[in-house]
Amino acid sequence: MRNLGFYDKINEQIIVSKDVSDLRILGLDPGIAIVGFGVIEAQRGQFHSLTYGAIRTEAGLPLSERLEIIYNDLNQLLDSLRPEAVAVEELFFNTNITTGISVAHGRGILLLACRQKGIPIYEYTPLQVKQSVVGYGRAEKKQIMEMVRRMLHLTEIPRPDDAADALAIALCHGRAATSLLFQAGEKSQCSTI
């Protein structure tokens, strides 16, 4: 992982290395049928998209087989894209608990695969993602999608929605990680899991 700068305890100031904002981030939107992913690079305060898409598993397959597909496909992605940080959305279930349980199974697989590769993992709530990307915690899905398109200088909104969500999560971490506060060890907006 490239040096992101460090906090000089003696002089109480932040030492920023040249490539401080040069960071490759993988955003992941957990699921079982579809896992959205999006890789961005943060360079000198600007973000651009390297690739995005989705890992898909068929509905009729046993849960264990779907989990294995997600694990294998994510490992391929990690090997080929070599992200330096992974940002994953936190789960909240107020509506469908059955779906929530299977999504949590899948999210466990994402965390395991990233952990096994030694990639730092950060989690963000949907509220944090909205606040970071749109600047408003109650932003609508359309607004988030449009901001993702603009921030990444894309001509169209990324499809599927799960990939756009994953890019939004990556952007959320990109903003937190390249802020001086974050580099000084202030992690109010993110946590390793």
List, by residue number, the catalytic residues.
29, 89, 162
Which helix (H) or strand (E) segment is 75 a member of? helix 63-81
Look at the alpha carbons of 66, 72, 76, 79 in this order and tell me if their dihedral is positive or negative.
Answer: positive
**What is the footprint of its own copies within residues 27-66 (CB under 8 A)?**
62-65
2: helix, strand or coil = coil
Interface region with its own copies, contact rule CB under 8 A, candidates 3-11, 14-22, 97-105, 130-138: 97-105
SS3 for 108-132, per residue?
HHHHHHHHHCCCCEEEECHHHHHHH
Q: In the complex with its own copies, which residue's Cβ is closer, 7 or 71? A: 71
- Contact between 112 and its own copies per CB under 8 A: yes
Q: In the complex with its own copies, which residue's Cβ is closer, 125 or 143? A: 125
**130 to 113, 152, 175: CA distances (angstroms):** 26, 16, 12
Per-residue binding letters, 73-92, with its own copies (x by CB under 8 A): ------------------x-
Which parts of this chain interact with its own copies (CB under 8 A)? 62-65, 67-68, 71, 91, 93, 97, 100-102, 104-109, 111-112, 114-116, 121, 192-193
